[in-house]
Amino acid sequence: MLVIPVILLVLCSPAHAQPLIGMSKEQVAGLIEKEHSVFRKDQSVSNQQFNYLKYVNSQRTKTWIMYFSGEDVCTGTKLVCDYSELDEMLDALDSRYRKTGRREWEYEQGTDTFRVTLTREEWYFTVREKKTE
């Protein structure tokens, strides 16, 4: 499926002009609307404890969440996927990034290093991206 590689380019790839991490909430929303039209903003659930944007694909098989600081700067992302996507996701991560653990990868963007972690849950798996300290 083409959607996963496109998502990974935005989430993790140095090929993208810049990772979502570090962008303002307005910039992220504009980028998703412009470049990732398969995702629609999901406001079905609102959690006032967290500052985030949430997008869901039309098949409702992928949920993409961007987390923000109190100043509305993106601090991390999470992609939640059905297990039907697992093999393709692992292949994409292995081919694009430096593997640092069983389910961990890293990449550099300028002077920053980003960690990508895949976590298996009972009914789904997640791919998280964070800037390393």
Residues 46-73: tens digit of each pLDDT = 667 789 999 998 888 889 999 999 999 9
Q: In what order do the strands lie in the sheet with 74-81?
A: 39-41, 52-57, 62-68, 74-81, 125-131, 112-120, 104-109, 98-101
- Which structural domain, as residue segments, surrounds residue 17? 3-131
pLDDT of 3 strictly over 80: no
Phi, then psi, of 95 in degrees rounded to 5? -80, -20
> pTM for the complete prediction?
0.80
Evaluate whether 23 touches 31 at the Cβ level (below 8 Å).
yes
Angle between helices 86-96 and 3-12 (to 10 degrees): 40
pLDDT of 38 strictly over 80: yes
pLDDT in tens, 74-105: 999 999 999 988 998 899 999 999 999 999 99
- Mean of pLDDT over the chain: 85
Domain count, the chain: 1
